[in-house]
Structure 1
Amino acid sequence: MDFALSEEQELFRTAIRKYMNDLDRTAFARSVISGNLDVVANATSGLAEMGVTAIPVSEEVDGLGLGALDLVPVFEETGRVLLPGLQLETLALAVPLLESFGTPAQKAARLPSVASGESSVSIAWYERDGSLFPNSFSCIAGKTESGYALTGTKTLVPVIGDPDTFITGAQTAEGKSLFLVKASDVASSRMLSVLDETQQLAEITLNQAPGELLGEPGHAAEMLKEGLLHFNAALCSSMVGGMDELVKMTAEYAKIRVQFNQPIGRFQAIKHGIVNMKLDLETARSLSYYAAWAVETNATDKAAAVHSARSFISKAFIKAAADSIQIHGGIGFTEELDVQLYLKRARYYENYFGSVRDSRRATAQSLEWHSTPAKRDAVPVS
């Protein structure tokens, strides 16, 4: 079975890559590190003009109605240059959640502005001392005459690019439920330190914030698990893009770095190291393509496909970055080169909305190798 991208998708990749090159590749990521956040809005606007932000949005609400495979070249190319922003959270998690569980009114109110690039949505899920699927929330949603009012604190919330809406979870009488909360209704926020300085995470406090129920009450964990299949497939594409760039820059460095009067690329140890990076890259790419295909076609093995891809690629991305630094030698640790940026991004993604251990356990559960969920989780993560 051929899981290669279509000719149209590859042509779109070429256009995205040209746009990323026009942005001077990792220059935008470095601009964010230096404090210039305007570049995030500029990049999002450019992607919107190319139609990227409309890809997963259904045609009924001004989108293109395309699938997970059409996002593969987008996230590979944005991952290649470590583009800052909420593209992953908005297009690969918030949009699938809204499309699957939102009411017609909720879709009409929010998705057209997402498709046009005017709006971004983030996920405020984690709480202090909580796992991806905690037994309970300290964040409480109480019923009011007009809907719900949310009170509590959420941490590790992606906020780069100033999202205007958060999808969050809170405890209701029926159980854990999902809500839409406007960013303007957040009582306070506190920025957190992040290893990957191209990202921004915050701790936000809700104090009787108006919340709009998303989906059926009491089913937050199940809805998030479904949304995370889309998200992890897209995240894998982003990590593959980063790995691809690491292989390219490492091979180029091995050609120009001279030691003992010859390029270090002629040394057997260096050759083997780059070949191993390339082998991991192609394995990761195959797993990533199959995961996206499984999600788009709703294949019976989509959970196993996505979580096995996530568990392998998360570790492979870290290894590729570490090996690249080793081949570059001492200069690989310096801020002068981009290699250290990729290692930070790889470590950032290692436990992003689920750990490698979570993915491996979810894969085993989906294959019926392991039927008992871990005690620290309320529900299995498959």
Structure 2
Amino acid sequence: MDFGFSQEQEMLRASARKFFENECTSTVVRQRMEEPAGVTDDFWTKLAEQGWLGLVLPEEYGGVGLGIVDLVVLMEEMGRVVMPGPFMATLLGGLAILEAGSADQKKEWLPRIANGDAKATLAWTEPSARWDAAGVAATAKPAGDGFILSGTKLFVLDAHLADVTVVVTRTAESKTAEQGLSLFLVPKGTPGFEAKLLPTMDQTRKLCEVSLRDVRVPKSARLGPKDGAWAPLSRLLERATVALCAEMCGGAQKVLEMTTEYAKIRVAFGRPIGSYQGVKHRAADMLVDVENAKSLTYYAAWAVDEQVPESALATSMAKAYASDAFRKVSAAGIQLHGGIGFTWEHDLHLYFKRAKSSEFTFGDATHHREKVAQLINL
């Protein structure tokens, strides 16, 4: 049994690390997080040239055709630099089109996503902030040769930048929350569709409020069959959640490295603080949290790629653990740095804030522990 990454995956990691160390420095991140876009056209084009925007999209649509394990490698490196920009949003939108779209819809949008010409996102959560079927109240009602979408979506990743937004709506009342959901493509500029930036704790990840004021779309805008969105939504959410877990692992690993290096050079009472037992124990706990989060994430990525029955369980286990681990590791890193760790000038706060925003994206630890309990019949 081989628990290691392939040679090609290690090459991807090395290439990504070199790229982000050069193109996404702390100075760049701080500049971008102050801007509404969070990314420049030049940087986005470079991501496309590397093939990363279409990493998991099929080759027939201009993608690279790799799997979630490969995506995990890339996302870890993005997490190490708390990369800003709409990569995660576009991954969500692209996966939604891939999972639920018709051949024509895929041909229209996926090549444009892969080559960097179009950005996308998924509008799922509402004021309840729930990443499940029960939280969907926005409606899509038949009207002539199309539908009228109404409602409000909150905490939508980078909707202000998206050329197309995949909107989750309720098209029928049903006995269960999972039934009666439908997906619709809403291109940028559609009358009645408005995306407004929200103030956020994590300035490196932009969130929006999306207002749907009687948005009229044609029947051709529907992704998949009417009332049949839950199955593709479940599949894409598993894949995106594993990707987010990998990003959290990368961020936690970087915090661990920053903290251990600081503990070796910061001297107190004539000795490096890393020589004191209390600091050693905290650093050891951080390492255990990081390695456990990685192990669960790697297993979940393999399970999703192989489509094994326990993929949903593995994904929720990984998200529950990684959410807590990244938050605890980043908080410990700040504390072990002492006063400098609390300053704006030091980078640790960027990781702590990313940990908090990622904790609630795609469901927090409590949500996923409940899913784990349900999946093991408790």
CA distance in structure 1 between the partners assigned to 2:14 and 2:197 by the alignment: 36
The 4+ residue runs of structure 1 with deviation greater than 4 A are none
Aligned equivalent of 2:52: 52
CA distance in structure 1 between the partners assigned to 2:228 and 2:39 by the alignment: 37
CA distance in structure 1 between the partners assigned to 2:107 and 2:232 by the alignment: 20
- Residue 108 of structure 1 aligns to a residue whose secondary structure is helix
CA distance in structure 2 between the partners assigned to 1:26 and 1:228 by the alignment: 30
- Is the 1:31–1:37 Cα contact (8 Å) retained in structure 2? no
Aligned partner (choices 189, 204, 208) of residue 210 of structure 2:
204
- Is the 1:140–1:171 Cα contact (8 Å) retained in structure 2? yes
- Residue 3 of structure 2 aligns to a residue whose secondary structure is coil
- Is the 1:32–1:84 Cα contact (8 Å) retained in structure 2? yes
Q: Cα gap change, 1:160/1:3 in structure 2, threshold over 3 Å: closer, same or farther?
A: farther
- Is the 1:85–1:161 Cα contact (8 Å) retained in structure 2? no
Letter in 2 for 1:363: V
- Is the 1:127–1:137 Cα contact (8 Å) retained in structure 2? yes
CA distance in structure 2 between the partners assigned to 1:58 and 1:155 by the alignment: 30
CA distance in structure 1 between the partners assigned to 2:135 and 2:363 by the alignment: 17
1:321 aligns with 2:320: no
1:11 aligns with 2:11: yes
Kindly state the Cα deviation for residue 136 of structure 1 after the two structures are TM-superposed. 6.8
CA distance in structure 1 between the partners assigned to 2:53 and 2:130 by the alignment: 30
Kindly state the Cα deviation for residue 98 of structure 1 after the two structures are TM-superposed. 1.9
Q: Cα gap change, 1:57/1:277 in structure 2, threshold over 3 Å: closer, same or farther?
A: same
Report % sequence identity. 38
Kindly state the Cα deviation for residue 28 of structure 1 after the two structures are TM-superposed. 2.9
Letter in 1 for 2:119: S
Consecutive unaligned residues of structure 1, counting only runs of 5 or more, are: 371-382
Q: Cα gap change, 1:129/1:312 in structure 2, threshold over 3 Å: closer, same or farther?
A: closer
Kindly state the Cα deviation for residue 218 of structure 1 after the two structures are TM-superposed. 1.4
1:183 aligns with 2:188: yes
1:96 aligns with 2:92: no
Q: Cα gap change, 1:267/1:135 in structure 2, threshold over 3 Å: closer, same or farther?
A: closer
- Is the 1:85–1:160 Cα contact (8 Å) retained in structure 2? no
Letter in 2 for 1:199: R
Aligned partner (choices 297, 303, 317) of residue 306 of structure 2:
297
Kindly state the Cα deviation for residue 19 of structure 1 after the two structures are TM-superposed. 0.7
Consecutive unaligned residues of structure 2, counting only runs of 5 or more, are: 174-179
Aligned partner (choices 280, 295, 304) of residue 286 of structure 1:
295
CA distance in structure 2 between the partners assigned to 1:354 and 1:194 by the alignment: 17
Alpha-carbon RMSD across the aligned residues, in angstroms, is 1.9
Q: Cα gap change, 1:134/1:61 in structure 2, threshold over 3 Å: closer, same or farther?
A: closer
Letter in 2 for 1:183: K
Letter in 1 for 2:164: T
1:131 aligns with 2:130: yes
For 1:196-220, what per-residue CA distance to the aligned partner results, in whole angstroms no more than 9, with x for missing partners? 0112211121223244111122133
1:163 aligns with 2:168: no
- Is the 1:68–1:292 Cα contact (8 Å) retained in structure 2? yes
Aligned ranges 1:160-309 → 2 under 5 Å: 162-173=161-172, 175-185=180-190, 186-211=192-217, 212-309=221-318
- Residue 131 of structure 1 aligns to a residue whose secondary structure is coil
- Is the 2:124–2:136 Cα contact (8 Å) retained in structure 1? no
- Is the 1:3–1:289 Cα contact (8 Å) retained in structure 2? no
Q: Cα gap change, 1:129/1:218 in structure 2, threshold over 3 Å: closer, same or farther?
A: same
For 1:215-258, what per-residue CA distance to the aligned partner results, in whole angstroms no more than 9, with x for missing partners? 12213334322211001110111000001100110011111111
Letter in 2 for 1:275: A
- Is the 1:136–1:171 Cα contact (8 Å) retained in structure 2? no
Aligned equivalent of 1:330: 339
For 1:31-51, what per-residue CA distance to the aligned partner results, in whole angstroms no more than 9, with x for missing partners? 123337463433322111111
1:365 aligns with 2:374: yes
- Is the 2:39–2:85 Cα contact (8 Å) retained in structure 1? no
CA distance in structure 1 between the partners assigned to 2:95 and 2:295 by the alignment: 23
Letter in 2 for 1:172: T
Aligned partner (choices 363, 368, 375) of residue 354 of structure 1:
363
- Is the 2:160–2:196 Cα contact (8 Å) retained in structure 1? no
Q: Cα gap change, 1:54/1:191 in structure 2, threshold over 3 Å: closer, same or farther?
A: closer
- Is the 1:120–1:163 Cα contact (8 Å) retained in structure 2? yes
Aligned ranges 1:77-92 → 2 under 5 Å: 77-91=77-91
For 1:287-336, what per-residue CA distance to the aligned partner results, in whole angstroms no more than 9, with x for missing partners? 11111111111011101111101100100000000110110011111111
Kindly state the Cα deviation for residue 173 of structure 1 after the two structures are TM-superposed. 3.7
